């Protein structure tokens, strides 16, 4: 069966790294039907809407979506796209690679970030000129869904729950307790850490952590922190996983300083495509792409952000060469 893939390059280097990922996917022995649609600053400028209805509907019905990046409109694009596929978990591996400078080369983490609620649930109000409020929502249901996923993902090694339940007793307390309950039911080892203490300890010794399960904003910040330990956002892929569909995106942004020059590092987009392959059940191809990307990271060629002088196309072809 042909997999229907919606492609949303978006703005800036999204227009360069997403086509690179498609080149790699087309080099595999799998039949895909690609459909490209618009989102981001450019389409907003042209039409007034950062996320056209057509794009949202395409993402909501495709098997999977490959997203690039959006500029100023990032939140207006990516948050509705996560909702469009009912994504309950954002999977964010943060790993240091041989051949790439990293502050902590021993970093090998995966964040499983709750993807529907917390402060992202979005109940905000400007009550008076002086007072604004935001209602953060945590439900047992969303915490359970995330925990079930975590128990499958980390069945053997277990996971750590990062939270701030000493202050957010009802909300993060419900999150932590629910996740631990599910882990216990599945006999999956789980421990807990305060999110502020995690921020210190992951710098001091990242090897003490492995899979980290977090509320939404905590996952946002702590995974970006881990990106700093492995050398920046440039290499990190991510998967917004829903029950039937997913949106796969590099963690980096539009990189306006280098956009249009053909030198953007395609690594994060290629690794996001590999996560998409795995989600779609093409495990061996997912592994092949990952191995090829790791080989190129280790031996080159490298784009300028990694100290090399190769173009996006040269790196992409080097990956494709390793696939055959």
Ligand X SMILES: CC(C)[C@H](C(=O)O)[C@@H](O)C(=O)O
Stretch of 73-81, 101-109, 271-279, 316-324 lying at the interface with ligand X (CB under 6 A) = 73-81
Tell me how far, at minimum, the Cβ of 78 lies from ligand X, in Å.
Answer: 5
Residue 280 near residue 63 (C-beta atoms within 8 A):
yes
Q: Whole-angstrom Cα distance, residue 121 to residue 109? A: 26
Question: Minimum distance between the CB of residue 21 and its own copies, rounded to whole angstroms?
Answer: 22
Q: Say whether residue 164 binds its own copies (CB under 8 A).
A: yes
Q: Which of 101, 184, 191, 196 is catalytic?
A: 196
User: Residue 306's CB: how many other CB atoms inside 10 A?
Assistant: 21
- Which of its own copies, ligand X, none sits in contact with 93, Cβ below 5 to 8 A by type? none
Gap between the Cα atoms of 310 and 67, Å rounded? 23
Query: Which one of the listed residues 63, 164, 172, 305 is annotated catalytic?
Result: 164
Q: Which of 47, 61, 166, 207 binds its own copies (CB under 8 A)?
A: 166
Q: Which two tokens stand for residue 141?
A: 């249901």
Residues 133-152 that bind its own copies (CB under 8 A): 133-141
In the 3-class helix/strand/coil scheme, how is 213-228 assigned residue by residue? EECHHHHHHHHHHHHH
Residues 212-231 binding ligand X (CB under 6 A) are 220
205 and 109 in contact (C-beta within 8 Å)? no
Query: What is the footprint of its own copies within residues 212-231 (CB under 8 A)?
Result: 217, 220-222, 224-225, 227-229, 231
Per CB under 6 A, does 199 bind ligand X? no
- The question of whether 76 is a catalytic residue gets the answer no
Q: How many CB atoms lie within 10 A of CB 60?
A: 17
Residue corresponding to tokens 């509320």: 215
- Give me the residue label for tokens 């053909």: 262
- Token digits of residue 121: 């649930």
Show the tokens assigned to 295.
């080989």
103 binds, among ligand X, its own copies, none (CB under 5 to 8 A by kind): its own copies
Would you say 1 or 131 has its CB closer to its own copies? Answer: 131
Give the count of alpha carbons within 13 A of 213, CB side only.
31
Q: Which residue stretch of 83-91, 122-130, 184-192, 275-283 sits at the interface with its own copies (rule: CB under 8 A)?
A: 122-130
Site of interaction with its own copies (CB under 8 A): 74-75, 79, 103-104, 119-120, 122, 124-126, 129-141, 164, 166-171, 173-174, 195-197, 199-204, 217, 220-222, 224-225, 227-229, 231-233
Active site residues: 120, 164, 196, 220, 224
């Amino acid at each position: 069966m042909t997999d229907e893939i919606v492609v949303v390059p978006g703005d800036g280097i999204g227009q360069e790294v997403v086509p690179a990922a498609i080149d790699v996917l087309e080099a595999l022995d799998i039949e895909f039907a690609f459909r490209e649609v618009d989102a981001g600053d450019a389409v907003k400028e042209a039409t007034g809407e950062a996320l056209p209805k057509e794009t949202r509907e395409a993402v909501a019905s495709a098997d999977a979506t490959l997203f690039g990046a959006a500029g100023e409109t990032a939140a207006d694009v990516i948050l509705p796209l996560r909702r469009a596929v009912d994504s309950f978990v954002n999977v964010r591996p943060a790993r240091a690679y041989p051949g790439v400078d990293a502050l902590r080369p021993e970093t090998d983490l995966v964040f499983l970030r709750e993807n529907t609620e917390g402060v992202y649930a979005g109940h905000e109000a400007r009550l008076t000129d002086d007072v604004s409020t935001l209602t953060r929502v945590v439900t047992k249901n969303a915490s359970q869904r995330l925990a079930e996923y975590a128990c499958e993902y980390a069945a053997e090694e277990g996971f750590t729950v990062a939270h701030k339940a000493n202050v957010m007793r009802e909300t993060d307390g419900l999150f932590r307790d629910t996740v631990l309950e599910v882990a216990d039911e599945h006999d999956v080892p789980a421990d807990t850490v305060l999110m502020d203490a995690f921020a210190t300890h992951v710098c001091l010794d990242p090897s003490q952590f492995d899979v980290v399960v977090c509320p939404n904003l905590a996952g946002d910040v702590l995974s970006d922190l881990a990106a700093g330990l492995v050398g920046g956002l440039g290499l990190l892929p991510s998967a917004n996983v829903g029950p039937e569909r997913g949106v796969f995106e590099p963690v980096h942004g539009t990189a306006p300083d280098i956009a249009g020059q053909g030198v953007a590092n395609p690594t994060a987009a290629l690794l996001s495509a590999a996560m998409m392959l795995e989600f779609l059940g093409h495990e061996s191809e997912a592994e092949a792409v990952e191995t090829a990307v790791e080989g190129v990271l280790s031996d080159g060629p490298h784009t300028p952000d990694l100290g090399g002088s190769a173009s996006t196309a040269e790196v992409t072809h080097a990956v494709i060469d390793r696939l055959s």
